[in-house]
Chain A
Amino acid sequence: MKVDLTVNGKDITADVEDRMLLVHFLRDVADLTATNVGCDTTSCGACTVLLDGESVKSCTVLAAQASGHEITTVEGLASNGTMHPVQRAFHEQHGLQCGFCTPGMVMAIVSLLRENPHPTEEQVRTGLEGNLCRCTGYHNIVRAALAAAEVSS
C-alpha cells in the first residue's frame, strides 16, 4: 500500500507491505538507522520516536497508521550542526555507556519536557518508565533530563 509520512521535515512516499512496522519504515525505507529495535515487544523503548510531537514506540505502530503524520527521529533533533539541549545534556552528564537505548531515551525526554518543562526528579524517573537502560543505572540519564530542563528554562 502507498504511505505518505513526513519524517524529520521531509515528505516520504513509498509503497510498502500493509504489515510494515513504523520502525522498519524508518530504518529500511527512510534509511534512518539511529532508531533501534530493542525488545520488539513495546517494553524497552529503544525504538521511541515522536509522532506528531509525542513519544511512541515505533515497533508497535504500523507505517500505515503513521501515514499522513509527522515523525521525528533522533536524527531530526539537531539543527545546523547544533545539538538539541537534550542531546547536549546527555553528552555533558555522561548519560550513556553503550548507547543502544540512547536514541529512544533522548526522544522520550524531549516528549516529557514538552509536556512538563520543569519536572521533578521523581517525575523524570516515572516519565522514563517506558525506557530501559542496562548500563547506566539511570542516574546520569535522569541528571541529563534535569539539566536539559534547566538549560531550556
Chain B
Amino acid sequence: MLISYQWLQTFFDTPLPPPEVVAEALTFHSSEIEDIAKVGTDTIFDVKVLPDNAAWLLSHRGIAKEVSVILDMPLTSDPLRLSNEVLPVSDQIHVTLTSPVCDYYTATLIEGVTVGPSPDWLREQLEGLGQKSINNIVDITNYVMLATGQPLHAFAAHTLAHGKGYAVGVRQAHSGEQFVSLTGEEYQLTPEDAVIVGGKDEVLALAGVKGGQYSGITDQTTSIVLEAAHFERTAVRKTAQRHKLPTDASKRYENGISRVLIPPSVALAVSLISKVAGGAVIGTKTVGEGLEVRQSVTVTLSQINSLLGLSLTISNVTTLLDRFGYSYEVQDDEEVTVTPPAERDDLTIPADLIEEIGRVYGLDKITSVPPELLVANQLNKRHYYAEVIRQTLVARGFSEVYTSSFRNQDKVRIQNALASDKGYLRSSLAENLREARAKNIPHRDLLGIPTILLFEIGTVFAVDTEEFKVCLAVQTNTTYKAKTDDVLWRTAIADLESVLQTSLAITEAGEGVVEFSLDAILVTLPTPSAYGKHVASPVVSYQPFSLYPAVSRDIALWVGEGVTAGAVMSALQSSVSADQLVRLTHLDTFTKDGRTSLAFRLVFQSDTKTFTGVEIDALMEVVYATVAKYGWEVR
C-alpha cells in the first residue's frame, strides 16, 4: 500500500523525522517498507501490509498510529478519536437490509453539490498514491478510504428515488441478475452475491466491491447519497473472487475492518464535500449496530519474557501500552489485562499482545541463547540409505540430478497446472531421466566425460500413494547401444546390491534406464546407528555456463621421452585463453617403437558468440605453433 509522508505529517503537531528514519522505524517495528520514492515534494512509501494487520493498517491513519507508537510522538489529530458532529436524521431516506452480508448501513443525503474536477491538492494527493482522479465527489470517497480505511460510495440520488424520498437496500442477488460496473464491465450475479439496490429494486452496486454505472456521479448530479456500510468479510471476499474483481474496497472488507470506522469516515467525507463541492447535508439514516465490543486479554510478565527471551519489568510493559493508548489494568505487578481498541480485531490471545510489546520494544534487543550440544535421538533411515546410494553411484561415475515432479501426461492430474505440459504428477522418474540424458549427451566433451551416467532419487505419485524411487540412466553414444550401455547400469545395480546387502525392487529396466523403489527396500535394511561422517559441502564458486555451442577438436602428438600428458596440457592451456579453450581432456597414451603418443580433446566455446569454423582453425593454428615450439610432432 502506498503511503504519503506529507499526509502522515498532518496527523502530528510536531515535525516527523526525515522519511528514511520513518521508513526504518516502520520496517523494524511494524511493517516492511518495500520501496521509497520521491514524488514531487512528497515521499511515498510502499508498505507491505500483511493479513494480521490489514484490518486497521490499510490507511494513513493506521500507519500514522504505528509511527506515533514507535517513535513515541503523540497522534494529535486522530480522526478515530474526534467527537463528530451529529448529523440530523432524515425520514426522507429508507434503508432496508435483508442480506446477512450487511449489518450496519449509513446513508447520508447531500443536496446542491457542484460536481466537477477536484482541486489541485486533492488530485495531486490521489495521483501521488497511484489513484486516478475522477471528479470531486468520487475523489473524496477515495481520499477518505485512504485516510481511515473505510470504503465509501456515492450514488446519484435520483437513482434511489422512491415516492417522495429515497430508498436504498442490501439484498442477495437473483440468479443471473445483471450488474454493469462503473467502468462498464458486465457481470452475471449469483444468489451468493450481495447487492445494493435502489428505489425500484434494481442493482446499483456489488456490495463491498464496486459501484455500478447506472447510479454513478456525473457532471449533472446535484444530489448525492453517500453510503458507508459494514459488509461481512468472507462474503465480500468470495464475491470479489467469483467475479475476479478485487478492489481497494473489497481488500479492506475481506480483512475485517471494524464498523467503528464508519461514523468518523462519514464526518470527514461530509466536511470535505462541503468544502470542495458545496451543498448541504439534508440528513442521514442509519440501520444496524455500530458498536464493536472487544474482549480483554490478560498476559503475565513471565509469559511475555518467556516467549520473547527478554527481561522486561512491569513498568517497561506499561510504558509501551501507554504509547499504544490501550486501556489496561495491572494486577500484582505481574499481570496486565488489556482491552484492545475497537478498531483492532487482532488482539485476542496473550501471544498477540506479546508480539505488540516485543516489536515496539525492539526485536533487536533479544539476546541469543546458544544451543546445547545434544545427540539426535532418532536417525532418518531414508536419508541415511539415500546417502549410501549417492556415495556408491558417484564412485561409479554417476552424477545426481533433480528433475520436475510434473509431466505432460500421467496418472494424477493437477487441477490448476502452470502449463499444459505440466498437467500431471510423475508416477516414475524414468521419463524425466531419459529426457535429461538426451539433453546432456551433446555436452559430453564440454564436461570431459565419455558417458552420461545419471541418477535421481525422488518422490513419484500413484493415484493414492507416493513413494521415493531411485532411477539410473546411462548412454555412451548419441543413441542407446545395449552392448556398451547395459553393462554400465548392471554393474551399478550390482554395486548397490552388494553395498546394501539386499536385492533391489526393480520396477523398470530397459534401454539404459533402470528404476527401483527406495521405500520398498528400506524395510529390509537394518536400522542405522549413526550418520556417516559429516562432510562439509564443497567450497565452490559457481560459474555460469555459456549458452553458445562448443566445438571439439582432437589432436595426437608424438612427444619425447619423459614428457607427461600434464606437461603438454599446461603448455596448451597457457597458449589459448581459458575463455576460449574451455576444456582439455587427455584421451589416451600409447608407445610404439620407443616413441610415445599422447592424444587430447580440445573444446572451444565463447561466452559471447558462436565460433565460426575459421575462428576455430585460427585457434588450432595457435595450438600447432605451441606444439612446434616444444618440438612435439602432430601425428
Partners in one complex: no
Interface positions of B (Cβ within 8 A of A): none
